[in-house]
Structure 1
């Protein structure tokens, strides 16, 4: 793999961040420095940590950054659910975005599993 940009997980997580941004901007202005900002930060963190990990020198470091990315993805799911419960997004929007987070999560898990197998094989 020449670049992190070639990774489907990075591409899908970029798509997710782009899809989440306008949704978060639709929240009430009172949430600008709260939920809106937090959702955008963690959505951006997912592909950013994939890219950063890819640039590290060791496989262990790469896995560590993918783990951070997965944590940010879980944080995003939680915040999207909070946004729905507050009535800032519809259940349909929530479910659509959670489908995307699930897809990214599966891809992240697959990449992490592959890298961990590489670490454990002679």
Structure 2
């Protein structure tokens, strides 16, 4: 099936919900914004900077990320890292993701009763 408008819309919806999970997983180690964009892209999560930076600010405001500025280089960079609350959320979301993945696999492989 080619990625037409209908598929593209649903894929965007599906991906939107996974970006938070991906960011929390990556940010177990500190990253600055641009490096995070590259890491996400390399992992198959193509995210625009205009989407990522507001997300990082929101997650920080929710107490799920911490940040600090590195001013030792010529250009200051803000590094983000998952907080204890973010790690707890990551663990919960990962468990739920795995359960959902198992359920979808069962449905698509015809193992679930219907």
Q: Shorter-chain TM-score category? A: 0.3 to 0.5
- The answer to which structure, 1 or 2, has the higher relative contact order (CA under 8 A, 6+ apart) is 1
Larger proportion of strand: 2
Larger proportion of helix: 1
Rg larger for:
2
TM-score scaled by length of structure 2: 0.34
